[in-house]
């Protein structure tokens, strides 16, 4: 009675690697190609050598780490580790095959197959990078896209216009809240809607007065300016908020660590430097003009 052939092994699902594993796999495959380049055919005795056997095992192990076992991809590149020439039938008196030439051809084919495997991993790595980019879009105020800055201000229109025109001279779009359409939104909703920027510049001007109970009235920043300053510290990070102080006004101690400078000094240079660090392109000829 004839024996039944064993059922074929089921193809396993694709092996998914994260970005670091893909990069490591690419490095390993590149090393296997280097190993093939440096293999010395003179070490062969007839159809094999210990070095050739070790190279086959090394390539097979690397491919398993990258593509798994018995997956579609693993089977596609399986010829890469079959470096030995195996004669199907040999008859007495036949000349021995040219093992070195045949092995050299198999090495060339193996390198080509490993190169294809590297391309496949690079494609997977590009897909991961794209997913990350789509999940974490680059803010339009940083490199790429139309650069924008949100300008927080109080009642001092002269200071607001001076700073806004300077930033615009650097080819950076300035978002001034009251110039934007309401669209049925509340003030905080407008701020949230226009907060897709790379940096916020906050103007600290002495528009109000206040004091502790029973204390002497002193100039202070408008409360909405402080609120927006805190909002952008949380939304963008302290390193993406630059405060410009105009006149005699105290800086709240809660905002220690925020970059600020007095407009009585070289504020244009300081602001341009902070914009540069935040990722904006800055033409220093325009800064100095």
Q: Is residue 12 part of a domain?
A: no
Same domain assignment for residues 126 and 152:
no
Structure tokens at 230: 């805190």
Beta strands 218-220 and 208-210 are: antiparallel
Whether the predicted pLDDT of 143 surpasses 50: no
Same domain for 159 and 67, yes or no, is: no
Residue among 195, 273, 268, 262 nearest 229 (CA): 195
Q: Is 157 a domain residue?
A: yes
Residue 50 belongs to a domain: yes
Residue 141 resides in a domain: no
**Looking at the structure, do residues 130 and 153 belong to the same domain, yes or no?**
no
| pTM (2 d.p.) | 0.49
Whether 260 maps to a domain, the answer reads yes
Percent residues over pLDDT 70 in the chain: 83
pLDDT tens string 222-236: 888 888 888 888 888
Residue 152 shares a structural domain with residue 283 = yes
Cβ neighbours around 275 below 10 Å, total: 23
Residue 8 clears pLDDT 60, i.e. is over it: no
pLDDT, position 140: 42
Domain with 269 in it: 148-288
Looking at the fold, whether 162 and 60 belong to one and the same domain comes out as no
Q: Residue 137: what pLDDT?
A: 47
Helices 50-67, 19-38: inter-axial angle, 10-degree rounding? 160
Whether residue 95 has pLDDT greater than 50: yes
Statement to judge: residues 43 and 100 lie in one domain: yes
- CATH number of the domain residue 185 falls in: 3.40.50.10140
Give residue 49's pLDDT band: very low, low, confident or very high (50, 70, 90): confident
Domain membership of residue 90 (yes or no) is: no
In a domain? residue 214: yes
The kind and range of the H/E element at 210 are: strand 208-210
237-255 mean pLDDT:
78
């Amino acid at each position: 009675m004839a024996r039944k052939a064993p059922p074929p092994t089921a193809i396993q699902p694709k092996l998914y690697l994260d970005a670091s594993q893909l990069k490591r796999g690419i490095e390993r495959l590149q090393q296997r190609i280097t190993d093939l380049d440096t293999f010395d055919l003179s070490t062969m005795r007839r159809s094999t050598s210990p070095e050739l056997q070790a190279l086959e095992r090394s390539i097979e192990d690397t491919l398993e780490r990258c593509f798994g076992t018995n997956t579609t991809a693993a089977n596609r590149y399986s010829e890469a580790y079959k470096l030995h020439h195996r004669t199907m039938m040999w008859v007495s008196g036949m000349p021995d095959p040219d093992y070195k030439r045949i092995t050299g051809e198999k090495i060339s084919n193996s390198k080509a197959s490993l190169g294809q495997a590297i391309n496949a991993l690079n494609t997977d790595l590009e897909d991961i990078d794209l997913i990350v980019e789509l999940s974490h879009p680059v803010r339009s105020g940083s490199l790429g896209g139309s650069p924008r800055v949100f300008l927080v201000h109080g009642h001092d229109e002269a200071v607001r216009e001076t700073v806004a025109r300077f930033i615009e001279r650097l080819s950076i779009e300035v978002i001034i809240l009251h110039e934007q359409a309401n669209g049925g939104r509340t003030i905080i909703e407008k701020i949230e809607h226009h907060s897709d920027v790379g940096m916020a510049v906050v103007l600290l001007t002495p528009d109000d007065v206040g004091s502790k109970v029973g204390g002497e009235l002193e100039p202070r920043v408008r409360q909405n300016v402080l609120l927006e300053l805190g909002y952008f510290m949380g939304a963008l990070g302290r390193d993406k908020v630059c405060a410009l102080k105009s006149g005699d006004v105290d800086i709240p101690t809660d905002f220690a660590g925020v970059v600020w400078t007095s407009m009585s000094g070289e504020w244009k240079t300081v602001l341009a430097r902070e914009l540069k660090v935040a990722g904006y392109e800055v033409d220093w000829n325009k800064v100095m003009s």
